[in-house]
């Protein structure tokens, strides 16, 4: 039960994984929106990652369940088995979505498409 998906946020210092139990089908679009919101901090990974996480988990604020954070992937992604199907790469500034809703877009293209 649920609609699970994992996002990997890659930085120069390693990766952080964000898990959703209920918003899996929306995660690719949520990632695009989060990248756009974080644009002023694309050059500052520390703040950029915080903005991305905040945006990806905003539907679960103040809730006990629904989202999780991991330093290594340890949750089921029903769209890509045990691997993250959404990859937000701050180093190369690209979004990669695998499985359902697959795409490969630069951060700049995401902002351009949202305008």
* pLDDT tens over the chain, length 115 residues: 689 999 999 999 999 999 999 989 999 999 999 999 999 999 999 999 999 999 999 999 999 999 999 999 988 898 888 899 999 999 999 999 998 789 999 999 999 998 8
Domain housing 103? 5-114
pLDDT of amino acid 98: 94
pLDDT of amino acid 2: 82
* Cα(102)–Cα(115) distance, integer angstroms: 21
6 three-state secondary structure: strand
* Cα(53)–Cα(58) distance, integer angstroms: 8
pLDDT of amino acid 104: 96
pLDDT of amino acid 36: 98
**Structural domain total, the chain:** 1
Is 62 exposed, middle or buried, given 0-12, 13-18 or 19+ CB atoms closer than 10 A?
exposed
* Cα(36)–Cα(45) distance, integer angstroms: 14
pLDDT of amino acid 1: 66
């Amino acid at each position: 039960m649920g609609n699970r998906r994992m996002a990997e946020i890659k930085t120069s210092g390693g990766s952080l994984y964000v898990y959703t139990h209920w918003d899996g089908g929306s995660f690719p679009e949520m990632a695009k929106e989060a990248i756009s919101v974080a644009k002023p901090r694309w050059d500052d990974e520390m703040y950029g990652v915080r903005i991305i996480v905040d945006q990806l988990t905003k539907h679960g604020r103040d809730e006990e369940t629904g989202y999780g954070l991991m330093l290594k992937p340890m949750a089921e992604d029903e769209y890509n088995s045990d691997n993250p199907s959404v990859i937000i790469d701050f180093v190369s500034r690209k979004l990669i979505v695998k499985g359902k809703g697959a795409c490969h877009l630069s951060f700049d293209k995401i902002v351009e498409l949202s305008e």
